[in-house]
Structure 1
Amino acid sequence: MLVPAPRARWTRAVTSSASPDVLWRWVCQLTVAPYSYDLVDNLGRRSPRTLTPGADDVRVGQRLLVLFVVDTVVPGEHLTLRRARRGRGPVEEFAITYAVTPDPRGSRLVATVTVDGSRRGGLLRRLLAWGDLVMMRRQLRTLAALAAR
């Protein structure tokens, strides 16, 4: 099990007018850049606004977004990332699944974040949830908008 003792799970989602295959290509761009707040997540460099050739060749074990490694990938459907190194303290394990599905309006991108950790980490997990909400919201909206262009 990826996160053996989940203590929190957050789900974020957006709808895009893009087709699922185009939105999937943009999800794969996470191998190139974070697509949230570049000043915070990308050392001020702007995440690319065009598709990077080969970025959709995502493989298990591939590192991305600095902290993560690809755990599973089903091309065109979902991508699951886990923390590259097991953590210690209030948040030990951290995993994110990005799933793309068809939607009557185009496609839907759903991200599910799962964390575990010690019982003492409740406050940190709540703070992490709010930070994740802000960063993930920006990331998903950016990917959906770029796919819809």
Structure 2
Amino acid sequence: MTTTPTGHALALRRAAARIGQAIAGAALIGFHVAFTKPLRRWRTTWGATAAEAAATLPGDELVPAARWGYTHAVTIDAPPDQVWPWIVQLGQGRGGFYSYDGLENLIGCRVHNTETVLPDYQILAVGDEVWLHPKAPPLTVAMVAANSGLVLHGHDPQTADATIWAFHLHPVGDHQTRLVERGRGSYGPGLASRLAFGPTLMEPVSFVMSRKMLLTIRRLAGPAPEHS
């Protein structure tokens, strides 16, 4: 005889799972920070082919003198129009980031990662703002093409800090998508700028969070598991 978990029990299980994931994510970040240099080449091209990593993509021109960057990619068993809804609703106060929300919320992001497509967040236009943290300047939509690509851009002319966070959806046959994530960054000469926007911390942290995000999008957008 089996029993159905109560709502309280399910909530406890979910909370425990989030805590466990946060601990695992923090451990991964610590590992990657400690071994930044030997892991950098693998980490900055994770999942991407050599051609994808070397390609010039829309949005690259917004940070022409990038001082660091990365290209990550996954293959998703779904066409681009089924992947796009998960991309366009990204953001704090929107669909979240599909990553380690326990870690994000420790630094005050106030993120809730959805596992459903949210109809209210399916439209973005150039110039719209996408927030990463409620107290940090938002990124601006620099390019958006439904089922094809989204480029978010941040720039501070006073400090020379600049970044892009871009997603490009490339169809593979009729039923698959290559989701390519591209990040590029530059930073000014000041210590605060180097710490906040340089690769020493940002690159390993963004890798751990981005890898989790891409794998979650692959799961959410892909075919539903079959049940016997």
Tell whether the structures are fold-level matches, with TM greater than 0.5.
yes
Which position in structure 2 is the counterpart of 1:128?
A: 202
Contact 2:162–2:187 (CA<8 Å) still a contact in 1?
yes
Which position in structure 2 is the counterpart of 1:101?
A: 170
SS in 2 for 1:140: helix
Query: Aligned runs of 1:1-149 on 2, under 5 Å?
Result: 1-31=61-91, 32=94, 33-42=96-105, 43=109, 45-66=111-132, 67-83=138-154, 86=156, 92-104=161-173, 106-118=176-188, 121=194, 124-148=198-222, 149=224
Q: Which structure has the highest helix share of the two?
A: 2
TM-score after normalising by structure 1: 0.85
Give, in angstroms, the shift of residue 96 of structure 1.
Answer: 1.1
When residues 10 and 57 of structure 1 are mapped into structure 2, their CA distance, relative to the original with a 3 A threshold, is: same
TM-score after normalising by structure 2: 0.57
Stretches of structure 1 lacking an aligned partner (at least 5 in a row): none
Which position in structure 1 is the counterpart of 2:23?
A: none
Stretches of structure 2 lacking an aligned partner (at least 5 in a row): 1-60, 133-137
1:48-106 deviations in Å (ceiling 9; x for gaps):
111000322111111113331211111110000012x51765x7111111001112461
When residues 80 and 45 of structure 1 are mapped into structure 2, their CA distance, relative to the original with a 3 A threshold, is: closer
Paired AA for residue 95 in structure 1: I
Separation (CA, whole Å) in 1 of partners of 2:212 and 2:131: 15
Separation (CA, whole Å) in 2 of partners of 1:102 and 1:6: 28
Separation (CA, whole Å) in 1 of partners of 2:158 and 2:103: 23
Give, in angstroms, the shift of residue 26 of structure 1.
Answer: 1.0
Q: Once the two structures are aligned, what percentage of the paired residues are identical?
A: 28
Aligned residues: 147
Separation (CA, whole Å) in 1 of partners of 2:140 and 2:104: 16
Separation (CA, whole Å) in 2 of partners of 1:38 and 1:81: 21
**Which of the two has higher C-alpha Rg?**
2
Contact 1:81–1:95 (CA<8 Å) still a contact in 2?
yes
When residues 16 and 34 of structure 1 are mapped into structure 2, their CA distance, relative to the original with a 3 A threshold, is: same
Give, in angstroms, the shift of residue 113 of structure 1.
Answer: 0.2
Contact 1:34–1:41 (CA<8 Å) still a contact in 2?
no
Paired AA for residue 52 in structure 1: L
Paired AA for residue 201 in structure 2: L
Paired AA for residue 109 in structure 1: L
SS in 1 for 2:63: coil
Paired AA for residue 128 in structure 1: M
Paired AA for residue 51 in structure 1: V
